[in-house]
Structure 1
Amino acid sequence: MNMQATLSPRQKAAVIVRLLLEDEDVADLSQLSIDAQTLLAEEMAGMAVIDRQTRDAVISEFCDHLEAVGVIFPGDLDGTLTMLDGRLSHDSADRLRRIAAFSGRGDPWDRIAMLADEAIAHLAESEAVEIVALMLSKLPVERASRIFSGLQRDRARAVAQAMPMTADVSPPALNRIGLILLQAAEARPKPALPSPAADRMGAILNFATADLRDDMLAVLDQQDSDFAGGVRKAIFIFAQIPQRIQARDISRIMREMDQQVIVLALTTSAPEDAAAVDFILSNLPQRMADTLRDERDALEKPKAEDIDDAMTQIVAEIRRLETAGSLTLIPASEVGDGPEAAR
């Protein structure tokens, strides 16, 4: 007797899955939801023998369904955003995830994991230690360790002591706590300008003349030494090339530059620029370095403003390559705060 007509949709699905289990390359059920995996396992547990005629009829019906399918949508917001990755603006995707989390259609902890370290650190300092312990438990270990290490020592002790309390938290409670943290993070005022003021001032002074830059830093030192220190860390100038550029990147940078610009920059006679000149020449192929030296020595004395402009162009090219991800500047914090950091 053909049993196919008496099987429920779930039982038919169980038949298909049972057949797929014979192929290890395709039998991956982990992408199903936990509820779907549970229902499937329960259905399979209640089934026994399926005759060959029923099996073939189920397979035929399944294939007919597949052929009739025109378009498949993910069925949830996370899958949809993954499908649209790169085609939605960051702000739009961020807003959709936030709405989904608050409406109960998304996991708030996924949204929390996407917060910047600065926002996570603020929550770790301001929320109850039991909640902070749960938050750190949900974060990847490396990131949780970084946030924990940044806490004040007394606060860190309290959070560590609260960690045993996280053992018996229920999934609904965990979801509610996630929403509380997400709401707290969203309630923080958003700065109108995304980058710190010191970084913006440093970016401006990057392309100022040395005299103007020195004058501005002297004024800032008198007015607000902490702010001036932040500006110095944000500035990257020609003289800092030996401290903040990897030797292996010099050839790549110089390949992008007009040779006459390089020659002009290498004519600088400022004592603070001498190390940068030597660093550039010593990390270029010998023939290219010799050619640049010869052209520099043969050049009539250029104007100071032309030399400054050439050095600024090299700095601008380095910044462009950094933005493009082609090279990484050594952080200013690893260089030091002395006057050589940004004259």
Structure 2
Amino acid sequence: MTHSDILIIGGGIAGMSAAFFLAKAGKSVTVLEREDQPGYHSTGRSAALYSETYGPKIIRKMSTASRAFFITPPDGFTENPILTPRGIIMTAAPGEEAQLDAILTEGRANGANFVELTPDELKEIVPVIHTDRVAKAAYEPDAMDIDVHALHWGFIRQFKALGGSVITKADVSAIGKADGKWQVTLAKGDVYTGDIVVNAAGAWADEIATKAGIKPLGIVPKRRTAVMVDVPADVKPHGWPLVASLDETLYFKEDAGRLLVSPADTTPTEPHDVQPEELDIAITIDRLMTATSIEVRRPGESWAGLRSFFADGDPVSSFDPADDSFYWLAGQGGYGIQTAPAMGEYAASIITGNGVPPQMEKLGITTDALSATRPTLVSGK
């Protein structure tokens, strides 16, 4: 039986970022990961982009709060830069102009750089786009591709260097308490104990809570699809920014001379090793051909990943209202990579009793926004 100050269930980007900051704060931490390697599900299937305009309001704030870490990670964190230039163009359909303006106003207040584009200017950058469906667009040149592997394994390596332990093939069969300590039993019989359990199990977060005797918060795993598409010989996509619709029904970006395309689908499903559906692939291609002049005769390889959401679409990072030794760290949706540094630091600061980090307070990040008891978590509004 191995005891740690903190047991983290889930070795994806959420669990490992929190583990790093907790170990940095001097806590003994053990991460329990059910798969053969960390990041097999959502983390390992993410085509991540760092943008301060993408996602709900709390996500945008957490992305801004993550900026400094991405630009200047700790010494020895990774051999290669985490971020590489990409840029993102957000397109607003007729009637969405005010919504885009609000995002730009907020982003500029936090120091983000934007260039507003007319439909004609947009077409100069991405010649294949149909501008008749675009009322307004905004270009964020500082948006970057994220090297997901470098980020995730940077957290893992530094966590281990700080004395942390990652246990793989650690399928949790039972969770209970004995003498005031959490006791987590694995399917293979090993037992781990801890003062605090952090539930970073992603799509399986409610399942873990139920095993621990904690009321589930209603997390919903949702399938997201990505498809690779060849482009005609006369189309040169190299250097294009990622293009995303403001209503999050389509995005595409250049990848080695081809396009990686997603309908940004969020189809509810059960937690499992999710695979792409033929209908979703067809929808992806149809949306791309509707938005652009690219004609797709046959899609390339495709895959799917799980994105997990609570009712209001925002993540939870807080102690359970009924047990202050059970911490929820889940529901990041499709934004867990771009917010990982801030979410990990925030969780560690709350768990260690230090409250919201000062730099996050300045951005208006509050415990209420990430609370397990916020009204919108129940109402979904």
Task: State whether TM-score is above 0.5.
Answer: no
Q: TM-score, normalised by structure 1?
A: 0.21
**Normalized per residue, which structure has more strand?**
2
Q: Which structure has the larger Rg over C-alpha atoms?
A: 1
Ranked by relative contact order (alpha carbons within 8 Å, sequence separation 6 or more), the top structure is 2
The structure with the largest helix share of the pair is 1
